[in-house]
Structure 1
């Protein structure tokens, strides 16, 4: 009887040892997962802002980047409903500069309009680019069925530009566009989007960190926090 009890004690001790070991492994696993999540949340990506269209003062301490697609309905909603608050609360107040970069993923219209807009920026400058940028979203059809159709054709883009530029300027942009002079800059945007893990639009980054919030208050807080880190 005594020997049997002693054996049971050994088995119980071994069992307890393995349970404690298993718990320790689980706890360590959770620590690593938490640290991994923390690292991901605070990851800072290097972004080259040179030769990119922007709004705001160059002295602004924070840079916001939007990756967008002119064919994307959600980007249109962002432009009409979310961006005005960014303009008034962050850009006009001098808190942040705002950049637009291309992530053209829906169809050929996405790529065509992005490259044409790049040509507008290169040939006519920053101010005209933003006028054209706004026009493209204004003219985006409300019917979602259009996504598979060619809407932003060469002719459409040229006629749209004529609303804000003279004939000489339009010809200059069209010539540049047909010569594919905007190709390198568009490729640069697309490569950067890929490096940053962009998978949809609009996607926002604040000083190289991805914005994961949902409201303008979330974005303002992230900008304020980023300014403190300077």
Structure 2
């Protein structure tokens, strides 16, 4: 009986070896996949999000599309808007090399929603004044201890989007008139599996650290070089 048991064990040995080899191949292939799809500073996702009907500043036909998935109540988004965006304007957007677009992410409940409703409404009615309002809202809404109210949104609009009728804006916020656009944003956010804000995409590359401006520059320059080749 002991001899029979040893023969049975020997028959299983090649199977164990095959399993080990298979697992090793899976690990190697997974590592190769990660290397191909993650350049160290970025992760390729295969396609760039559409910016049609999305707030966009700069040349919409620019070879580089920079997309921010952000939340007006997100403090880090406010920091990104004040620290990184001005550099993007100076280095790329104003020169026509890149465009900058914004998708609304609702991550902080009702206050995020109120801010997004107001911003979308201003974009629909007075698009030329959207970005001034957007930047002001980013700086106010995400501050520690700040509270987003309809009164705050109307005050910011009066200063930064003066052509927007105050009564119309208030009605648009109360009646959630921009909800279809916010739901469209949410669909794209789900499509690209965005789970944190700010998430920054440069064409089809997700920036691993949105505050690493060197990595952002390197990625944009590579995309510009590829467009020229």
TM range (shorter): 0.7 to 0.9
TM-superposition CA deviations, 1:144-193 (whole Å, max 9, x none): x55xxxx2111211122111344762233333334433111111111111
**1:174-213 aligned within 5 A:** 174-213=170-209
Instruction: Report which stretch shifted further, 13-22 or 104-113.
Output: 13-22
Match 1:161 to one of 128, 138, 157: 157
Give 3-state SS (helix, strand or coil) of 1:100's partner: strand
Question: For the Cα contact (< 8 Å) 1:45–1:196, is it kept in 2?
Answer: no
In 1: Cα distance, 2:161 partner to 2:78 partner = 23
Partner in structure 1 of residue 215 of structure 2: 218
Distance 2:55 2:213 in 1: 22
The residue number in structure 2 matching 1:6 is: none
Q: What stretches of structure 2 of length at least 5 have no aligned partner?
A: 1-6
CA RMSD of aligned residues (A): 2.9
Quickly say closer, same or farther: Cα 1:86–1:163, change in 2 above 3 A: same
Number of aligned positions between the proteins? 217
Please give the residue correspondences for 1:131-146 in structure 2 after superposition, counting only pairs within 5 Å. 131-140=132-141, 142-143=143-144, 145-146=145-146
Partner residue in 2 for 1:55: 57
SS at match of 2:165: helix
In 2, the alpha carbon distance for the partners of 1:15 and 1:174 equals 74
Aligned 8 A contact 1:120 1:173 in 2: yes
How far is the alpha carbon of 1:206 from its aligned partner?
1.3
> How far has the Cα of 1:76 moved from its partner?
1.1
TM-score (norm 2): 0.81
Query: How far apart are 1:45 and its partner, in Å?
Result: 3.0
Matches within 5 A, 1:84-163: 84-125=86-127, 127-140=128-141, 142-143=143-144, 145-146=145-146, 151-163=147-159
Larger radius of gyration: 1
For structure 1, the residue ranges without an aligned partner over 5 or more in a row are 1-9
The answer on whether the counterparts of 1:123 and 1:173 sit within 8 Å (CA) in structure 2 is no
Q: CA deviation at 1:16?
A: 9.0
2:122–2:164: 8 Å Cα contact kept in structure 1?
no
Question: 2:62 is paired with a residue of what secondary structure?
Answer: coil
- The answer to whether 1:31 aligns with 2:28 is yes
Flag the 1:174–1:142 CA change in 2: closer, same or farther, 3 A.
Answer: closer
Q: 2: CA distance between counterparts of 1:179 and 1:185?
A: 14
Question: Using the alignment, how far apart are the partners of 1:100 and 1:141 within structure 2?
Answer: 16
* 1:4 corresponding residue in structure 2: none
User: Quick check: 34-43 or 64-73, which moved more?
Assistant: 34-43
TM-score (norm. length: structure 1): 0.81
Deviation of 1:62 (Å): 1.0
